[in-house]
Amino acid sequence: MLQQMGCVTLVWLLCWLPQLLAAEESSWQAYYQLSANTQQLDKQALALELQSLNQTQFSLPSATRRFGFDIDAPASWYQTTAGKTVVEAILSLQTPSGGWSKRTDMTVARSAGQHWGVEPKYVPTFDNSATTTQLRVLAKAFAATADPRYKAAFYRGIRLILQAQYPNGGWPQNYPLTGGYHDHITLNDEVTEEILSLLLAVTEAKQEFSFVDSKLQQAAQQALTKGIALLLQIQQQDNAGLSLWAAQYEHRSLIPAWARAYEMPALAVMESASLLEVLMQLPKPSDELQQAIHSAMAWLKRHAIYEKHWHRSERVLLDKPGAGPLWPRFAELSSNRPIFGDRDHSLYYDVHQVSLERRQGYAWYTDRPARTLLRYQAWQQQFPLTAKTLKAAD
């Protein structure tokens, strides 16, 4: 009987697998086409504006490290003149597709003939908290003022995030797609974490997100569920079991991938820690997700560094009794050893071998997971590690 069932299953696979693969490829091609169309619409909008101004070249807005204002300001601040000025600038710098740029001053409204960001090739983007930050601001501003323009811009931006999600559940760094490592599923710089956090807030529709309608809530929940399912699929493993997540993955093969020359395929310790904080906010985590969290926390505990201090100005790792815990930004996939890179693609196990420019220009060590482990203490009281959750990992 079992042999007959096995034959039936094999026949089913042989009959239906080609169709399933064709359907999957069709969904990817549709995604790529929509991305290209969206990018073309953004370009056409700017070209038409330039034509109306009798200009052939766009200018750039002002640059700043973040966005030029306090992104944590309370909702009431957006009732003030200063707050309204920021929101007007944000509205003007939203691309026709619905997103925003990074490193662009969003206290000054865009002028006609300007691009929407200081890095035209990478607009819109989710990197460096772009787009997710502006959407949180719009939600606060709408809660404080009920200005319908803020709500409309918020809905447009959320739809872009939903549209940008790959068929397998991940998100690229930029959307519409711009090629290269920007198309990788990106956890680096907290891209995935911030998108999931925003979607979770939309699904709950609490506080400043209470205006979100049920249709958008459901769409956000579907994207959130799909995104978490992918994270469970791409969590890395070592000899001890499940570990952390890589910084970026090739978006089709899901293999950890290079980004910039000094961002090698490796475990992203800092981003994994911040991602875990979002995952611990989910109200009803599955057994599989609970096991993923427990395992990742165990990795952080095993690989914490003590008696060392990362000197933030001199950019050296020093012996210091009683110091720690500390973690490397990246850990090697095969060995879990701290690993460091340079602009020439060279890799080192000793951070002091990295050029001074890259030591000064990148955060190679972090104490960020200490906060995550502290929050885990409360979470594990609610969701303790049991035989059932252990089995979910098998």
Tell me which residue has tokens 């050029």: 355
Look up 337 and say whether it is catalytic: no
Can you tell me whether residue 55 is helix, strand or coil? Answer: coil
Write out the H or E segment, with its range, that includes residue 327.
strand 327-328
Work out whether the CA dihedral 109, 111, 117, 119 comes out positive or negative. Answer: negative
**Max CA pair span of the chain:** 78
Residue 177, token pair as written in the block: 């797609």
Q: Check 66, 149, 156, 260 and give the catalytic one.
A: 260
**Contact in structure between 357 and 341 (CB atoms under 8 Å):** no
Residues in Cβ contact with 182 at an 8 Å cutoff, skipping those fewer than 6 apart: 122, 125, 172, 173, 174
- Are the beta carbons of 108 and 89 closer than 8 angstroms? yes
d(CA 159, CA 38): 12
Q: At what angle do helices 148-164 and 132-145 cross, to 10 degrees?
A: 150
DSSP reduced 3-state for 1:
coil
8 A C-beta contact, residue 245 and residue 275: yes
329 belongs to the catalytic site: no
Nearest to 165 by CA among 219, 215, 216, 227: 227
Query: Exactly one of 128, 168, 174, 336 is catalytic; which is it?
Result: 128
H helix intervals, the chain: 2-52, 81-92, 132-145, 148-164, 191-204, 214-234, 269-279, 287-302, 356-360, 368-382, 387-392
Please return the burial class of 320, using the count of CB atoms within 10 Å of its CB with bins 0-12, 13-18 and 19+: middle
Residue labelled with tokens 């601001």: 137
Residues annotated as part of the active site: 128, 260
